[in-house]
Amino acid sequence: MNSTTAGASTVEDTVGAIAYNLSLVRNEIADTAARIDDRQLAGLATKISQADRVFVAGAGRSGLVLRMAAMRLMHLGLTVHVAGDTTTPAISSGDLLLVASGSGTTSGVVKAAETAVSAGASVAAFTTNQGSPLAGLSDELVIIPAQQKTDHGSGVSRQYSGSLFEQVLFLATEAVFQTLWGNADVPAEQLWLRHANLE
């Protein structure tokens, strides 16, 4: 069998699997997002709008989602910093630390929350684990009812590792942004003026 035949065969065989998995991912995201407590997200949105500055901290893919959220909050005109960046200042009273950890035990994220609390800042967290150390440090808590990264056999999700948590985290932060944007009543053209121009 030559590579052309193998490639064509592989593509044809894969079409059905792709369609099935798109449906699986879409349905898991929709079902999980629908089970988030809207009041928890509303409390988080209120905390963001009242903060002097917003700091975000997360590890791995959750951290990448929070970086995307930070960009959107910056577009709204908020002062936003990403923990670990070389220009990020010290957090202090009046500030908000926004964090995410599926397990609620990610050491760097928990440490960041502890530092924020010690500095007099507020903490808002996304997690799957209401009884976690991160949850205990949080002033505002949003529970995403997905599986934890190492929870491979629970049946909560058929996706690998923490994928469902990270996907729904993105949707949740986008919903918060959309809500804050709606409250601000600012046209998209004005937000776009803040978009990076050193790309």
Positions annotated as catalytic residues are: 166
Q: What is d(CA 71, CA 74) in angstroms, rounded to the nearest whole number?
A: 5
3 state DSSP class of 149: coil
Q: What is d(CA 72, CA 95) in angstroms, rounded to the nearest whole number?
A: 18
> How far apart, in Å, are the Cα atoms of 10 and each of 1, 66, 156?
12, 36, 30
Question: Given strand 122-127, what is the order of strands in its sheet?
Answer: 80-82, 54-58, 96-100, 122-127, 140-143
User: Quick one: which of 164, 115, 113 has its CA closest to 137?
Assistant: 113
